[in-house]
Amino acid sequence: MSSRRSTPRPRALRSLAAAASVLSLVAACSGKDPYSPGTKLGTFHVTAALTHTSCGATPNPWEFDVKLNHEGSTLYWIQGGVPIEGRVDAAARAQLEAEIVEEVRAADPRATRDACAIARTDVLALTLLGADAAPTSDPSLATAFDGKLVFTFAPTAESDCSDQVTTAGGGFDALPCEVHYDVSGAFKSPPR
């Protein structure tokens, strides 16, 4: 569940380095890999078809690979950084959510302009499918999934992001805005 990013600020890099150190320490003490928790299910190829956008130009179709792991009924979506997790219910459905706030532009005291930070919220609602294409509540039997993925982009409360819309030369048609996809994933390769 990724989208465009701007270049991280040095302070953000220091924060990431500190977080990585803490995660490494936790992993060493617990014996768990925070970037690949649970039992590996394998790599799934995902195809996403755009159903709605108020943000502007968006890839359609969008294809990518993701690794899935599980621990009991907890499903982990692994695509780069820290995994996103959700519980698989008795109807084989899971909802995975993540939020990231990124500073797009620092404040400019000379121009009396506030900083611009945009929160991106990702919500993936999916149903796991087994080899017979029927829903399965057991993640270890999943060979495919179907669902919906929604990205929401919104300036934080203290931000001035008026320069981020296309009418002011930015990349968004509007803020806040949403992008909706129908997604399907199919088993591609076993875990390594």
Express each pLDDT in 86-144 by its tens digit.
999 999 999 999 999 999 999 989 988 899 999 999 999 999 999 999 999 999 999 99
Residue 134 maps to a domain: yes
Residue 137 domain flag: yes
Are residues 175 and 155 in contact, defined by beta-carbon separation less than 8 angstroms?
Answer: yes
DSSP string, the chain: -----PPPPHHHHHHHHHHHHHHHHHHHHHS--TTS-SEEEEEEEEEEEEEEESSS---SSEEEEEEEEEETTEEEEESSSSPEEEE--TTSEEEEEEEEEEEEE--BTTTTB--EEEEEEEEEEEEEE-TTSSB-S-GGG-SEEEEEEEEEEEE-TT---GGGBGGGT-SBSSSSEEEEEEEEEEEEE---
pLDDT at 9: 32
Q: Examine residue 117 and state whether it is found in any structural domain, yes or no.
A: yes
Number of domains in the chain: 1
Task: Classify residue 123: in a domain, yes or no.
Answer: yes
Q: Is residue 182 part of a domain?
A: yes
Share of the chain above pLDDT 90, in %: 77
122 part of a folded domain: yes
Supply the range of the domain harboring residue 64: 10-189
Q: Is position 53 within any domain? A: yes
Please tell me the pTM assigned to this model. Answer: 0.80
- Residue 4: inside a domain, yes or no? no
Q: Looking at residue 94, what is its pLDDT?
A: 98
User: Please, is 145 exposed, middle or buried when counting C-beta atoms within 10 Å of its C-beta (0-12, 13-18, 19+)?
Assistant: buried
